[in-house]
Amino acid sequence: MSYIDASRRYYEAAGYEKPYEWATNDEAPFATLPEPLDRCRVGVVTTSYLPTGDRTTFATRPDEVFAAGHDAVSRLDNQALQWDKDETHTDDPETYLPLARLAEAAEAGRIGSVSPRFYGVPTRYSHRVTRSIDAPAIEQGMRSDDVDVALLVPL
């Protein structure tokens, strides 16, 4: 059974009147890069999470949205999140937080640099909360780190 089908069945079994609707945003502004990619700073957003004491928070809900230094990668957790644990694993953090690969790209001159922090945003079932609280908090963190390009890597 596909993840989408499983999600629909879950919502139906939980008594929701209509199935889950995947988030879309047709009005999202896309823009050209502020400069060539080889001079841009890249920031990464993951849906994995850290224990509360391991992160710098910058949102109205500090237990959820966070920024953390690269040294915190080894403490990331994701076992409580919903993902297909039968078909994949999270043994290799580079599959959901490719900081080492980005550092290699920076060293090779393909990107300018990697943000000193990565950013975490929870997997939510509320489009409104994601759009009105989580996304602005991540944007604020990235702006403070002078990030030019955001790479979103959901688990």
Judge whether 28 lies within some domain: no
Q: Is residue 14, in this structure, part of any structural domain at all?
A: no
Structural domain count, the chain: 1
Domain ranges, residue 140 = 36-153
pLDDT at 80: 67
Q: Does some domain include residue 21?
A: no
Distance CA 98, CA 28 (A): 25
Predicted TM-score of the model (pTM)? 0.74
- 16 within some domain: no
Residue 17 inside a domain? The answer is: no
Angle at 67 between CA 25 and CA 135, to 5 degrees: 15
Average pLDDT along the chain, 155 residues, taken 10 residues at a time: 81 81 71 91 88 50 71 76 72 86 97 95 74 87 95 84
Q: Residue 111: its pLDDT value, please?
A: 97
pLDDT value at position 79? 67
> Is residue 97 a contact partner of residue 46, using CB atoms and an 8 Å limit?
yes
Q: Which amino acid, 26?
A: D
Q: Where are the alpha helices (DSSP H) in the chain?
A: 3-13, 99-107, 127-129, 135-144
Strands 41-46 and 117-120: parallel
76 contacts 93 by C-beta, under 8 angstroms: yes
